[in-house]
């Protein structure tokens, strides 16, 4: 199972530094996104990191995944 963490970066100049810090902790960058507010010059930067986890998937999540897979196969 994987873990995910979303990090908001305040200024674009800090994106590379933030990625390096998280990679040193064992995380891998999964997705980068930015959003611009229509008012003002505010741009928000978001980094989604992932890593493998030792945690087991809860049985309810396994059941939901099985139902979704079966539904997708039948569609």
User: What is each CA distance from 29 to 9, 14, 16, 42, in whole angstroms?
Assistant: 13, 14, 11, 23
pLDDT band at 54 (very low <50, low <70, confident <90, very high): confident
Q: Counting every residue, how long is the chain?
A: 75
Q: What is the per-residue pLDDT for 57?
A: 62
The CATH number linked to 42 is 3.30.1490
Residue ranges of E strands in the chain: 2-9, 28-36, 43-52
Tally of domains in the chain: 1
pLDDT, average across residues 38-42: 74
Q: Which pTM value belongs to this model?
A: 0.67
The conformation of residue 65, written as its DSSP 8-state character, comes to: H
**Domain of residue 21, residue span:** 2-74
Q: What is the per-residue pLDDT for 69?
A: 77
User: What is each CA distance from 28 to 7, 38, 44, 72, 73, in whole angstroms?
Assistant: 12, 31, 20, 29, 31
């Amino acid at each position: 199972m994987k873990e995910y963490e979303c990090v908001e970066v305040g200024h674009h100049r800090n994106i590379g530094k933030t990625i390096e810090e998280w990679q040193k902790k064992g995380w891998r960058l999964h997705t980068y996104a930015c959003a611009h507010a229509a008012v003002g010059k505010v741009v928000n930067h978001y980094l989604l990191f992932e890593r493998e986890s030792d945690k087991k998937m809860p049985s309810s999540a396994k059941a939901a995944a099985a139902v979704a897979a079966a539904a997708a196969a039948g569609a």
